[in-house]
Structure 1
């Protein structure tokens, strides 16, 4: 039996030297019970402590202090007649396969501050990765495949690649139930991506090398990963999900928030009976309520201060900008409060600026960076060879000033990406005309239908060398555009080695070889890997590719930007145009670049600008072998024109 005191209204489980303070928000509830367990496998608690509202309640918070309680204590809460619930503020949960049997684990904060790298946003290069899928394949050759420790073993690879930040898909605990049945073996499919949160603090054990039921060593393991990434100059960005929870809508599960107070935590309509569903996942978190806001801020500060991460990418972030009726508030919402927070304003804040109810790219408050979906779409369309894209493409390459140039926002307010976890990989973009999601068990009805992809002559994998060659060329074209564009580039894990998901563009429930990074595949795509490394080196070396200010569309004696077509200063912006060229001057190095993008199916002859005292040197031509690219003493171009092969991109540099 525990001796107990009244405790204080400090949410969560606070481990002190002489005991543990427990507290939970439970509004308008009559009975609150704290259950203490001996083991995570136990179905019945060893002790039930009924809280006395006259002693253990302050406002809407119930609290109690257990004398001699120690770190590792297992507990749940019981509120009125609801099922036992997990503490949403808990830093760890037990690892029961049956989620309804899980317990919260009381953890003591270390308060060991990990120094943040604070790499400027304009110098950031993001690598989006899934911790488990990155090393789960046996050919990853790591000691602990699919774990935080396994990912740590691959840090030298990432450092050599040249990225400055990894963006992890969700790492706090989620319910992996999908209800889907695989068509191949009839097995139940589990959600591996993690966009179905149970709580916003507890690190998942799914990626821990220690799978013991009651252990909380995953926290130490993750901190070691963060520390080692920092030692190698790589920041950590977490994909966080504050827009919905795993409890779903009416008839959904009870993990915590529904029992604590439905009206506080969720957006409801029709006399508080029906859940609003801007997330598409059954419920929408009410981020207007002060209790919810404080929880989100506390969660972010925990990951930033205690766990050492450097920034966050907010899934369906626009939901955080809606009022309780679902109307867009933007500047007058939690979104603005986060960039004004004295602590969180110093970390990287990145938004996915759309949800089921609207598209708000460019509408985020100042100091946010945003995933630029328009950039993704136009690059795909241009590479595919779709008409009417040249004008739009140029805007996106030059930092999307039409979207972001307001309120002193800069080009690095936008995150440029062509692929991400959600959709085709880059190789699949050039290998499939249609999605192939039957293995998800949803009759191929899930996933995006409009992918702007083109298979280049064969659907899926092929041994046709001609098709493989043009596909690789198109990969290089996309990578080249990505790394010379103003803004922050983001690459999806494995795109640098031709990773494929066999045409599945919604592989959220595929934890198998179709989604695991195939490290042996890298042998056949070493040219793409080297091309990626060289494009990153080029971007880092010359400031012109990562400007703090928007480029002006004018040519001032070769000290600005020149826009061209096959003829100098005559860009073709007509509907049927499939090519564009432009010159860029880097004042820091007194270097001029001439870049040609040709998505036409035929060869085009581009007139070259004249240089004073210098000559053009070929730096990149994606139609040529890599042996002819990125040479210190590349081919000098003496002609007044450069013949550009079909479906190719070229970079010339003044020497």
Structure 2
């Protein structure tokens, strides 16, 4: 027989070498049809009703279907939005477990389950077939030759340095990447980019979303696209726009090459919402398969969605099958694609229960016990837009979290705001006030000053106001609270003094990022002064604005690649910066973890912390083990030089300068303990103790 019952055990399309098993979850469907298409995805060849239903999984096995076959589903059931059901078999639906996509979404009114323009809005019903404009799922052979040498780098958390990048934007403008590879997965792992990453000293590349996505209709009509990719439709399929042919194999080849270079790959993943949007959005997959199961619906009016994400709807991980999909997706990317970790967009949504954020939520519990995910890095963006959504410091011990408190403090400090030394001291020493609980370690906080969302580092010191007019929203989008400082002129300038000051402040931010305890994350392009011309929300700018401009490569002063390399090397040299133990002060035996010092090299008292408008902070991180040197760090955000003394300690007669951000080329200099010297205006200095 060509068609048999098959199995419900594994969801999606699973090829076993002879045929393919198809399995789709839907608790509220009445019938499911598998639709097979020609190799171009234009002609529907046949519809096959899945013959069996086991525990809400519809399934069937076809012995003549092999890899390369294009398919989709039509799901039958009630169309009753007022009761949370939106079944419409006129709409071809993408398999939530699709491993590879063929074709792009071509927008039309046919993609909506209701009649667009109807006075009854989404309560109306649309009978048009949307198949021709839908991307199709492709049956895949998951085998891949990783080669004997492919080894995961397994970088310890304490050694991790993260580099956030967009696959296309990273290489689209790189002249040393072959033209056919620019903007692709292959460009990311080209020899030129690997050399660049090694020069920087980063260990881990964190990629903006590469899950299969679509461009919002409103953007397409403006001739824009969803460049960042936070509009997921397929949680298992690598996005095809970054590959020349087979996206799955292209992605895995890139991972293998980066691993060969000792570089990890993390993915920014978006499980909190899908591309289907709110109740007036299209019916492309989840909504038409089982709307009432996949999404948070308002209990008193299930026609509408609970929106914790600002994207119209929220995925409901409290449902066991929806949770299973997310967990299956994560394991797939680890086991089949060999990725090394994940950063979870709006992670609070994933851990919501009926009463809001819940540290015992089903998702967090599932992650905690999963043996596959125990081997990779898990990072939360610990907030969403719902009530009680800000949860920095509240995730379980297995997790690290983006530390926006570090970002805010360091932006304010280097933009010239005074009376922040207490806040800065906490952020430079792993933010123990946020993360020192439940056996968490300093790696829990991911320190960052700039990321994809917001100003670049160059723009942070070039613009006081956002300039998002190109996004087509009259500059209303994007944050207006940037803690930036244009140094006296808005935008580009030829004024040498302003240009030098901006460069200096960029170096200070980078220096602090790598000298701070916790895990550093830097934004790709900040090492070469990349600008987005004041756009702090370039999510739709797949053009010169969103791509990294590498025109400063080799340009003295603006090319900070070697400076970043020196900072990452400094971080590796001083183990106390990378320590996974929390700091303490002066101990009874005279040893110490950290000593906070006045400019006179005297240990600070309470009155020193409240010094009016204070902008000077100095401290010593003690050695972690015998033979290790202490490091003395000086941060002077004041616009004038400040005299200070080198600490006097019995074991260390001298201090060797290992960093001065005002110097174009770093020079070593020796200072005797107790001697007075000066911190230049707006500078970061560091000294190593010597016997």
Q: TM over 0.5: same fold?
A: yes
Q: Distance in 2 between matches of 1:116 and 1:497?
A: 29
> What is aligned with 2:46?
47
Q: Distance in 2 between matches of 1:388 and 1:16?
A: 65
Given that 2:34 and 2:49 are in contact with CA atoms closer than 8 Å, whether structure 1 keeps it comes out as yes
Deviations along 1:434-479, one digit per CA (max 9) or x if unpaired, are 1110011111000011000001111111111111111111111111
The answer as to 2:373 corresponding to 1:334 is: no
> What is aligned with 2:643?
605
- Write out aligned runs for 1:83-102 (5 A): 83-98=91-106, 100-102=133-135
- Write out aligned runs for 1:135-154 (5 A): 135-137=171-173, 139-143=175-179, 144-153=181-190, 154=193
Deviations along 1:400-429, one digit per CA (max 9) or x if unpaired, are 111111111000011111111111111111
> What is aligned with 2:618?
581
Given that 1:437 and 1:446 are in contact with CA atoms closer than 8 Å, whether structure 2 keeps it comes out as yes
Deviations along 1:182-202, one digit per CA (max 9) or x if unpaired, are xxxx95110110101002101
Q: Distance in 1 between matches of 2:545 and 2:280?
A: 33
Indicate the SS of the match to 1:173.
strand
> What is aligned with 1:535?
567
The answer as to 2:418 corresponding to 1:410 is: no
Deviations along 1:152-206, one digit per CA (max 9) or x if unpaired, are 111121012110100000101111225148xxxx951101101010021011111
Deviations along 1:225-275, one digit per CA (max 9) or x if unpaired, are 111111111111100110000011101111211111111110111232210
Given that 1:579 and 1:600 are in contact with CA atoms closer than 8 Å, whether structure 2 keeps it comes out as yes
Deviations along 1:17-75, one digit per CA (max 9) or x if unpaired, are 22111111122222221111113341x31111133xxx422231111111121100011
- CA gap 1:326/1:284 in 2 versus in 1, 3 angstroms: farther
> Which of 132, 139, 154 is matched with 1:106 structurally?
139
> What is aligned with 1:262?
291
Given that 2:574 and 2:631 are in contact with CA atoms closer than 8 Å, whether structure 1 keeps it comes out as no
The answer as to 2:156 corresponding to 1:156 is: no
Indicate the SS of the match to 1:379.
helix
Given that 1:597 and 1:648 are in contact with CA atoms closer than 8 Å, whether structure 2 keeps it comes out as yes
1:101, CA displacement in angstroms? 2.2
Given that 2:41 and 2:70 are in contact with CA atoms closer than 8 Å, whether structure 1 keeps it comes out as no
1:391, CA displacement in angstroms? 0.5
> Which of 472, 477, 484 is matched with 2:503 structurally?
472
Q: Distance in 1 between matches of 2:55 and 2:432?
A: 49
- Write out aligned runs for 1:16-35 (5 A): 16-35=16-35
> What is aligned with 2:330?
300
Q: Distance in 2 between matches of 1:638 and 1:311?
A: 44
Given that 1:13 and 1:90 are in contact with CA atoms closer than 8 Å, whether structure 2 keeps it comes out as yes
The answer as to 2:683 corresponding to 1:648 is: yes
Indicate the SS of the match to 2:234.
coil
> What is aligned with 2:431?
400
Given that 1:26 and 1:260 are in contact with CA atoms closer than 8 Å, whether structure 2 keeps it comes out as yes
> What is aligned with 1:615?
654
- Write out aligned runs for 1:53-68 (5 A): 55-68=51-64
**Is the deviation greater in 453-462 or in 132-141?**
132-141
1:142, CA displacement in angstroms? 2.8
The answer as to 2:534 corresponding to 1:503 is: yes
Q: Distance in 2 between matches of 1:309 and 1:141?
A: 23
Given that 1:331 and 1:364 are in contact with CA atoms closer than 8 Å, whether structure 2 keeps it comes out as no
Structure 2, unmatched stretches of 5+, are 77-87, 108-132
**Matched residue pairs, number?**
635
Given that 2:41 and 2:103 are in contact with CA atoms closer than 8 Å, whether structure 1 keeps it comes out as no
> Which of 216, 223, 226 is matched with 1:188 structurally?
223
> Which of 237, 256, 278 is matched with 2:308 structurally?
278
> What is aligned with 1:310?
340
Deviations along 1:570-615, one digit per CA (max 9) or x if unpaired, are 5432251111100122244431222111111211111221244531
1:117, CA displacement in angstroms? 2.2
1:111, CA displacement in angstroms? 6.8
> What is aligned with 2:113?
none
- CA gap 1:326/1:71 in 2 versus in 1, 3 angstroms: farther
The answer as to 2:206 corresponding to 1:167 is: yes
Q: Distance in 2 between matches of 1:40 and 1:361?
A: 47
Q: Distance in 2 between matches of 1:639 and 1:364?
A: 44
> What is aligned with 1:72?
68
Given that 2:645 and 2:674 are in contact with CA atoms closer than 8 Å, whether structure 1 keeps it comes out as no
Q: Distance in 2 between matches of 1:347 and 1:580?
A: 36
> What is aligned with 2:466?
435
1:567, CA displacement in angstroms? 2.1
Given that 1:618 and 1:637 are in contact with CA atoms closer than 8 Å, whether structure 2 keeps it comes out as no
Structure 1, unmatched stretches of 5+, are 211-216
Q: Distance in 1 between matches of 2:647 and 2:309?
A: 51
Deviations along 1:526-563, one digit per CA (max 9) or x if unpaired, are 55222111000010122011011011133764643210
Structural RMSD (CA): 1.8
> What is aligned with 1:519?
550
The answer as to 2:501 corresponding to 1:484 is: no
> What is aligned with 1:213?
none
Q: Distance in 2 between matches of 1:460 and 1:206?
A: 33
> What is aligned with 1:461?
492
**Is the deviation greater in 220-229 or in 613-622?**
613-622
TM-score, normalising length from structure 2?
A: 0.89
1:622, CA displacement in angstroms? 1.5
Indicate the SS of the match to 2:364.
helix
1:97, CA displacement in angstroms? 4.8
Q: Distance in 2 between matches of 1:333 and 1:390?
A: 40
Q: Distance in 2 between matches of 1:622 and 1:497?
A: 16
Deviations along 1:210-238, one digit per CA (max 9) or x if unpaired, are 3xxxxxx1111111111111111111110
Given that 1:551 and 1:560 are in contact with CA atoms closer than 8 Å, whether structure 2 keeps it comes out as yes
Q: Distance in 2 between matches of 1:87 and 1:123?
A: 39
Given that 2:636 and 2:683 are in contact with CA atoms closer than 8 Å, whether structure 1 keeps it comes out as yes
Given that 2:102 and 2:137 are in contact with CA atoms closer than 8 Å, whether structure 1 keeps it comes out as yes
